[in-house]
Amino acid sequence: MLGLGASAGSAATTRPCVRHTKETAVTKRQCVRQYKRSKQRWPKNPKAWEIRRRVGLYNWNKASRVAICETGKKVRWYLGPNGEIRGRYVSALGMYVSTFEYGRRKTGYRGRNWQEQVAIAVAAHDITGNWNGWGCRGA
């Protein structure tokens, strides 16, 4: 009997994209590219599903509830048209400017869209105590 993780063909021992052959070279290139992107903590120009997978469904849904509570409605954009900061509280999540800047530095995102704003908020959890830094943390 094989030990844990030592079974033939287990996820731990197989290489990514091994199913692709020479006939599907384009598909294999795409698979390898996506595999490398999936290993990055905060990939450039993220899609919503990429951030949702990284922050977890709980944080993704919590961010939506906090945004509704903080801004009074479902707002997905709370910066200037060029991504500039306006006021003391910014983004759809109503983050304090210094918290927002901390998360921006940590992720490398500007906060141009909803998924980047969620990533910034979650990246700032180590200084906000998870969702405790928001007045609507109970949302």
| 77: nearest Cα among 63, 67, 88, 69 | 67
Please report whether residue 1 resides in a domain: no
Percent above pLDDT 70 for the chain = 70
Task: Report the DSSP pairing between strands 95-96 and 89-90.
Answer: antiparallel
The pLDDT value given to residue 133: 84
Read off the pLDDT of residues 29-54 as tens digits, 9 standing for 90 and up.
Answer: 778 778 787 887 888 888 898 899 89
Please report whether residue 14 resides in a domain: no
Please report whether residue 13 resides in a domain: no
Please report whether residue 25 resides in a domain: no
Please report whether residue 93 resides in a domain: yes
Structural domain that includes position 127: 50-133
Please report whether residue 32 resides in a domain: no
Please report whether residue 83 resides in a domain: yes
Token pair listed for 106: 């940590």
| 20: nearest Cα among 5, 40, 37, 34 | 34
The whole-chain average pLDDT of the chain stands at: 77
User: Looking at 35-44, 48-57, 92-101, 114-123, which range is the least confident one?
Assistant: 35-44
The Cα-based distances of 91 to 2, 24, 46, 84 in angstroms read 51, 43, 17, 10
The pLDDT value given to residue 61: 92
Our count of domains for the chain comes to 1
> Is the pTM value of this prediction over 0.75?
no
Task: Reply yes or no on whether the pLDDT at 4 is more than 60.
Answer: no
Please report whether residue 129 resides in a domain: yes
